Amino acid sequence: MAARLVFATRPSALARWQTRWVISALQAAHPGLECEERVITTQGDKILDKPLPEIGGKGLFTLELESELLAGSVQCAVHSLKDLPVENPAGLTLGCIPARAEVRDVLISREGFTLASLPAGALVGTSSPRRAAQIRAARPDVKTASLRGNVDTRLRKALSEQYDAIILAGAGLTRLGLAEHVTEWLELDVMLPAPGQGALAVQCRADDPETLARLAALEDPATRRAVTAERAFLLGLGGGCSVPVAAYARVQPLTGDLHLDGLAADPHGDQVIRVSGTGADALELGQRLSLAALVRGAVDFLGLR
């Protein structure tokens, strides 16, 4: 019997694209491998009229997929790593993290506004406390409002008169062939990305050695190290999607060490704490910089006292 993997996937166009990309890459690495998609609608896909922090956070997009994995009805689930909670449920692991794509966020405006040229009082749509805080820090005179839905839905809202601009992850737009709608790519000193942004993760059971062996073909060690540092930083600052935290790490080509930039902000963007550092150990680096952010005052507005 031919080897076969069943993938759980959410129904959005981006989730399907990401799952099919992983399947294609795996089949190229393992000729003869049969793969099947099983579409699962999560609570996060169903509840679109409330901000994520109000309805349970990132886990609402993963719980049903993880239940199918643990039950053994599927072998894999592909996630945008930035949307995956920092702690895996018992029995599950990240089988592989492929090479990372674009990490920057983008601004989309039907009027062609950039962040600098948005008029005072403009309304910017985003469902992310991280993005909202950094927007308010850069432009205290603009307003932000919740923006939920998949990429297609958010893009449609951006092109209506509901918002003057919206902020999205550039990786999703690029993957879906929608980068033509980007008005401005936001540089990292203006909008530091979410931990894990631009990276995919394939989740599987920890006790499934055959699947783990197949997924190893897609593993990118440099991306794994970088996102491990970023997610350790996030975990040290509370770990939830209601926390305005950003982080971006990359491997230094000459030394092989990691350099991590981290950010924690109060929800209104009035106080933004930036930290940076270098180290060889990803977990230690993320933990060290999260502690540095707490010592510098992040503990006061992240509710960790």
Q: What is the pLDDT of residues 1-58, one digit of tens each?
A: 458 999 999 999 999 999 999 999 999 999 999 999 999 986 655 555 555 555 455 5
Hey, which residues are catalytic here? Answer: 83
Residue ranges and CATH numbers for the domains of the chain are 4-97+200-219 (3.40.190.10), 105-185 (3.40.190.10), 228-301 (3.30.160.40)
**CA 84 to chain CA centroid, nearest Å:** 7
Q: pTM, whole model, 2 decimals?
A: 0.91
In this prediction, residue 1 carries a pLDDT of 47
Question: Which parts of the chain register pLDDT below 50?
Answer: 1, 55
In this prediction, residue 150 carries a pLDDT of 77
